[in-house]
Every structure is written in C-alpha cells, then in structure tokens.
Amino acid sequence: MGERLAPHRPGRDDLRALFPVLAQEVNGLPLVYLDNAATTQTPLPVLDAVRQFEQHDRANIHRGVHTLSQRATEAYDEARRTLARFIGAGAAHELVFTSGTTEALNLVVHGLSTAGAAPAVLQPGDEIIVSGLEHHANLVPWQQAARRCGAVLRILRPDAQGRLRAQDLAALLTPRTRVFAVTACANATGERPPFEALLAQAADAGALTVLDAAQAVAHSVIDLSSLACDFMAFSGHKMHGPMGTGVLAGRRVALERLEPLRYGGDMVAWVTETEASFADLPMRLEGGTPNVAGAVGLAAAASFVDRTGRERIDAHLSDLRRHAAEGLAALPGVTVLSPDTGLTAIVSFVVDGVHPHDIGTLLDEQGIALRTGFHCAQPLLEHLGRGPTARASFAMYNTYAEVERLLAGVAHALKVLQ
Ligand code: PMP
C-alpha cells in the first residue's frame, strides 16, 4: 500500500489513475467531476486501507483481550494519531471521531447547552456569534441552543461582497459573548474569510471559538496549534476519505466542558444501577461502537493528501479556481460570487434570467457534474441578494482541461437558455 502513496502531482494522469471513479463516461462523454465541495472521490490507497482492515483486523475495539480486538484497537488509535498530526494538534489537544462535520458541530452545541454534573456552559442572556457565511450545520444547531438556553444569537454579517470584517466582529463582541463560530471557507460562495484573525479576536474577548474546517482540510494546511481555536470540525468525505466519517478536535480543556451527546458503552468509567461516571477524553465523547474502518480510511486519506502535498494542491486549486472564475465572468450575464477571494477551491456563479438548475441539467448532459441550489447556506445567499447558484468545486485530480470543458459547457448552456 505504501508504494502507491508516493507523491503525485495534482492534476496529472498518474494521480487521476488512483481514483477509479473518474475513469467513466457520463451521457457518452468523459466525466468531469466538479462537485468536490459536496463530496470528494476516494483514491485506491484509502479503499485498500479500509479493505485491509475489514479483511484482516475487523473486531470491536477496547473490549477484547483477543488478538483481532487488539489489532483493531491499535488501528483505531493509530488513525487518531495520524489525524492529530495532520491537523497540527499538540499536547493540549484531543481528537474525537464523529460521523462528519454536522455531528461534530452538534456535539459542541449540545455539549455547551446541556447541563450534566455541572450547569450548562450557555446560560440565559449569554451571547453566541455565528458568522453569516455558515453552512446550515454551523447555524441551525446554534439557533436551537440559543432558544433552549435563553441565549442571544448574533450574526456577523458579511459585507456586500460576502467578506467578513474584523471591525464588525469587534462591534458584536461583549463580555457576555460565550461562543464565536466561523467557517474556514464558505461553501456557497467560496469566500475564504480571515478566520485566523477572527478566531484570535474572539478568543481575546473571552469567547470559546469554533472553526468549521469542512471546506479547507482537503487542500489547505490547518494548524490547530497556531490557531486560537477551541473546537474544529471536518468531514472525511470532503477530503477523499470514507463517507460517514469526521472529526471534532480542539483544546482538551474546552472539550472537557462538553456534556456528552451519546451515553452508553465505551464512554463510562463505572456504572451503578442509578449512576455513572464518564471516561476521559476522547472516549467520553465517543459512546458506542465507532466506525473503525472509517477512521482507518480517513487516516489513509490524510496520509494521501499529505503525500501529494497540501501546498502543491492549494496552488493547483487556486490556479483552477482563478481560470474558472475569469472564464465564467467573461460569459454574458454571468456573475461570479467572491471573485477575488484568497485560496479556495470553489467557484459559485449566477446568470441573469437563468435558473442554475437548468445550467446544471445541461452540464450533466455533457458529462459535467456541478452542484446547484442554496448549498445549505440560504441566509448567506439571501443576504447577498442572490437566490440559488451554480457551484463548481475542484479537487487535486481536476485539470485545466476540465475547467475548459466547464467553460465551454456553460457557454453552450447559456446559448440554449438565454
Ligand atoms: N460545513 C460546511 C462548510 C460544509 O460545506 C458542509 C457540507 N457541505 C458541512 C458543514 C456539513 O458537512 P457534512 O454533511 O459532511 O456533515
């Protein structure tokens, strides 16, 4: 397996050959897969790692003295260590496996808004600030928590270009601010906010800080140790790992304040008929049998991304994004959202008088997969005065030639639709 993980250049054929799903035709034409912000594809080394675990080591973890259980436990622990290194977690951090970003964020929100042995962290009158760039997964749980706890939810709205500004955050922070939550990249627009500075600003004001890294981990180096970040969430399927995997990582002292979401086996220290005490982190937040094969696959995905090189991938993706954004903006009636943002792999656009679903359908007829709609970020698009958009998003295997096919495909669709 290791030999297959030799470095590959983004966009080159030898790298693409490791993603068998790409080598197919859709509607009679070679597939151009540009829906990576929704889900990335999985390379052979990740599939191999999952298969290897399932074929040789599958057993429940932590509970057995037998050899397979020990191997499974070691594989799971090793996956945790690999991912911790991947995100720059240090001695003061912990990493919890989840089913994805949504579960990770819900774990945080539930954990801060629920009383256990100690009162809930969020109390009536407390304030939560959520950026206006967020996916619904980093907004709706906070809405619910605010309602449950009598806390106040404030939105850090972006400017008319969809950018977040430090002075607007300064105006919202108060001594009652308990939480600030922001994304590393807006999935609906591709905007890359200055999240490092915003997190530091909120932490300085005494808030717990939450980073949604779902749209960054597949290509950008996210170094937890250099961020003022208490909680960070991401999904495996957006970084070439298995679906139904993800991570909540963060500062141990912050994670210890979370009331668990799932009570049951594996997360307890002792249990009587009437009471229980909980295990230490990370197991305290991982009640029940985890997705061990998924964790193994996710770690293999992190290794794969690292062998390809995140700086190289980032440079490749921003080239593709720039070419796509410029080419789309030159087409009649097309407006690209966040045209000048920093490193990002997402280009979202609207066309005067044309519904994005119609563009998406005509592109699919040409074998090109992109996503249309609100991208689970309806408040943001409405704030920007936009409705649904068409969104192309790139991964390490996409090529310049595929961007050309996208541009030609959209031009053709517009001729039909305009
Ligand atoms: N946050 C962002 C920024 C996302 O793009 C997504 C997925 N589109 C999510 C959260 C939710 O991720 P998942 O569905 O994997 O839980």
Q: What pLDDT, in 10s, does the model give residues 341-367?
A: 888 999 999 999 999 999 999 999 999
Q: Could you tell me the pTM of the whole model? A: 0.97
Dihedral, 94, 100, 101, 102 alpha carbons, nearest 10? -120
Pocket of ligand 1 (CB under 6 A): 37-38, 100-102, 135, 137-138, 183, 187, 212, 214-215, 235, 376
Q: Is the model's pLDDT at 258 over the cut of 90?
A: yes
Probe target for ligand 1 pocket from 39, 99, 101, with the most ligand atoms within 8 Å of CB: 101
Q: What pLDDT, in 10s, does the model give residues 323-337?
A: 999 999 999 999 999
pLDDT at 62: 85
Query: Which ligand 1 atom minimizes the distance to the CA of 183?
Result: 3
pLDDT at 3: 45
Is residue 246 within 8 A of residue 100, CB to CB? The reply is: yes
Which pair of tokens denotes residue 143?
A: 């809405």
Q: What pLDDT, in 10s, does the model give residues 8-55?
A: 789 999 999 999 999 999 999 999 999 999 999 999 999 999 999 999
Ordered structural domains, the chain, with CATH: 16-43+310-417 (3.90.1150.10), 48-306 (3.40.640.10)
Probe target for ligand 1 pocket from 39, 109, 135, with the most ligand atoms within 8 Å of CB: 135
Q: Whose CA is nearest to atom 14 of ligand 1?
A: 102
Q: What pLDDT, in 10s, does the model give residues 176-217?
A: 999 999 999 999 999 999 999 999 999 999 999 999 999 999
Q: What pLDDT, in 10s, does the model give residues 378-388?
A: 999 999 999 99
Query: Which ligand 1 atom minimizes the distance to the CA of 100?
Result: 16
Alpha helices in 257-355 (DSSP H): 292-308, 310-329
Angle at 255 between CA 39 and CA 195, to 5 degrees: 55
| Cα(95) to centroid(ligand 1), Å | 18
**CA distances (Å), origin 194, targets 47, 239, 287:** 35, 21, 35
Dihedral over Cα of 144, 288, 88, 1: its sign: negative
Spatial CA neighbour of 234 closest among 82, 77, 95, 332? 95
Is residue 182 within 8 A of residue 133, CB to CB? The reply is: yes
Residue type, 393: S
Q: Is 276 exposed, middle or buried (0-12, 13-18, 19+ CB in 10 A)?
A: middle
Q: Write out the catalytic residue numbers.
A: 376
pLDDT at 104: 98
Distance CA 306, CA 286 (A): 26
Three-state DSSP class for 85?
helix
Which pair of tokens denotes residue 250?
A: 């963060």
Q: Is 241 exposed, middle or buried (0-12, 13-18, 19+ CB in 10 A)?
A: buried
pLDDT at 212: 98
Per-residue pLDDT band for 405 (boundaries 50, 70, 90) equals very high
Q: Is the model's pLDDT at 7 over the cut of 70?
A: no
* Phi and psi torsions of 324, nearest 5°: -65, -45
Distance CA 97, CA 249 (A): 8
Is residue 143 within 8 A of residue 162, CB to CB? The reply is: no
| Cα(415) to centroid(ligand 1), Å | 33
Overall residue count recorded for the chain in this entry: 418
Distance CA 248, CA 104 (A): 5
